[in-house]
């Protein structure tokens, strides 16, 4: 895919040339069924394996961001590298649905990523009474992988994905145990973090760009607009791998209820080759939501081939508290 795709895609999004695409999931395509019950109704459910049509996926996530002193000047500034690792669990389909096929109870969808690389592109800049620092993501270094587990053993309330007791992703387990249903190769991105006058993280915003390189056949679907799963004209993600389709992710953190922990235990340790020594880690726990978006035909013509995503993320995961 041409590198110009990133700029075109950002321009198309900012120009408002995209609209939300109602989506649904057919869990039966995985060969698994929630609770191991086949087509037998569970807890008053229906006989099919379709969820209702939804517009968003809400998620809960743990992330660890490691900031390095690439420039060797003992502070975080232009050119310094960082690495993100994280796991997430889909918690709900939005708006609230009558049929979610037991998501979060009889089945689960999890997300995992490692080695999401980036670098700072600006020093702290005063904006009103706060300070802003910008960054970019590297291209072709990692993927976001989505997994489905339909509890074939019929043991209720026992998902594989388990968040550990600590903030951050270091002690999370089981998030890659299910069947892979979607994979998104990261192709770059950019963002910024805002701090108060004391260097405390306030908020973060980023734009990731990627390409969907795998989608399980018949699992993820775009609805044709009739709000009824499984009807003619619905589009399978797997069959659209040759088209450009942005996917938007958003998340927010409430500093009063979520957790952001600065970890200096590894400060001074050598990082990967060319990264310099570690400055600090930021461990984050937060929730958010994910939209699937279909561009207008004119935007598709601009973008050309390659199924892509655009996650716009507002979260604490990338916030770096100054030290």
With CA atoms as reference, report the closest residue to 109 among 64, 66, 144, 68: 144
The mean pLDDT of 30-48, rounded to a whole number, is 55
With CA atoms as reference, report the closest residue to 47 among 219, 230, 222, 180: 230
Distance CA 213, CA 181 (A): 11
Distance CA 196, CA 240 (A): 44
Which sequence spans correspond to the domains of the chain? Answer: 4-30+52-314
Distance CA 31, CA 111 (A): 19
Q: Sorting pLDDT into bands at 50, 70 and 90, what band is 253?
A: very low
The mean pLDDT of 202-229, rounded to a whole number, is 82
Distance CA 5, CA 57 (A): 26
Distance CA 78, CA 90 (A): 35
The mean pLDDT of 261-290, rounded to a whole number, is 88
The mean pLDDT of 256-279, rounded to a whole number, is 86
Distance CA 229, CA 47 (A): 13
Number of H helices and E strands in the chain, helices first, is 2, 17
CB 315 within 8 A of CB 284: yes
Q: Which of 99-103, 124-128, 199-203 has the highest mean pLDDT?
A: 99-103
With CA atoms as reference, report the closest residue to 23 among 300, 237, 289, 281: 237
Query: Given a cut of 80, is residue 252 above it in pLDDT?
Result: no
The mean pLDDT of 136-157, rounded to a whole number, is 73
Which parts of 138-178 are beta strand (E)? 143-149
pTM of the model: 0.75
Looking at per-residue pLDDT, the higher value among 7 and 73 belongs to 73
- Residues 6 or more apart whose CB falls under 8 angstroms from that of 126 comprise none
With CA atoms as reference, report the closest residue to 306 among 3, 101, 20, 11: 3
Query: Given a cut of 60, is residue 244 above it in pLDDT?
Result: no
Strands 277-295 and 18-20: antiparallel
With CA atoms as reference, report the closest residue to 288 among 108, 117, 88: 88
CB 102 within 8 A of CB 45: yes
What percent of the chain lies above the pLDDT cut of 70? 62
Q: Two tokens at 21?
A: 């695409």
pLDDT of residue 57: 81
Looking at per-residue pLDDT, the higher value among 201 and 307 belongs to 201
Q: Sorting pLDDT into bands at 50, 70 and 90, what band is 291?
A: low
CB 161 within 8 A of CB 108: yes
């Amino acid at each position: 895919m041409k590198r110009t795709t990133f700029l075109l895609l950002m321009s198309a999004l900012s120009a408002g040339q995209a609209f939300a695409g109602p989506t649904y999931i057919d869990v039966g395509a995985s060969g698994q069924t929630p609770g191991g019950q086949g087509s037998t109704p569970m807890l008053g459910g229906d006989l099919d394996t379709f969820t209702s049509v939804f517009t968003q996926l809400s998620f809960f996530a743990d992330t660890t961001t490691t900031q390095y002193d690439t420039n060797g000047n003992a502070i975080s500034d232009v050119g310094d590298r960082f690495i993100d690792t994280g796991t997430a669990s889909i918690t709900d389909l939005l708006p609230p649905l009558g049929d979610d096929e037991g998501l979060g109870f009889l089945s689960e969808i999890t997300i995992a990523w490692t080695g999401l690389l980036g670098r700072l592109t600006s020093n702290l800049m005063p904006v009103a009474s706060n300070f802003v620092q910008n960054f970019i993501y590297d291209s072709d270094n990692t993927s976001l992988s989505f997994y489905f587990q339909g509890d074939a053993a019929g043991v209720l309330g026992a998902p594989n994905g388990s968040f550990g007791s600590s903030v951050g992703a270091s002690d999370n387990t089981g998030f890659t145990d299910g069947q892979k249903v979607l994979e998104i190769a990261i192709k770059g991105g950019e963002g910024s973090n805002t701090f108060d006058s004391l260097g405390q993280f306030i908020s973060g915003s980023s734009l990731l760009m990627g390409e969907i390189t795998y989608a399980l056949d018949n699992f993820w679907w775009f609805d044709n607009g009739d709000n009824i799963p499984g009807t003619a004209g619905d589009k399978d993600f797997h069959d659209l791998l040759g088209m450009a389709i942005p996917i938007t992710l958003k998340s927010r953190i409430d500093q009063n209820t979520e957790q952001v922990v600065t970890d200096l235990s590894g400060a001074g340790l050598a990082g990967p080759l060319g990264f310099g020594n570690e400055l600090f880690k930021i461990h984050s726990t937060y929730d958010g939501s994910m939209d699937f978006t279909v561009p207008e035909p004119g935007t598709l013509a601009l973008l050309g081939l390659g199924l892509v995503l655009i996650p716009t993320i507002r979260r604490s995961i990338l916030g770096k508290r100054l030290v």
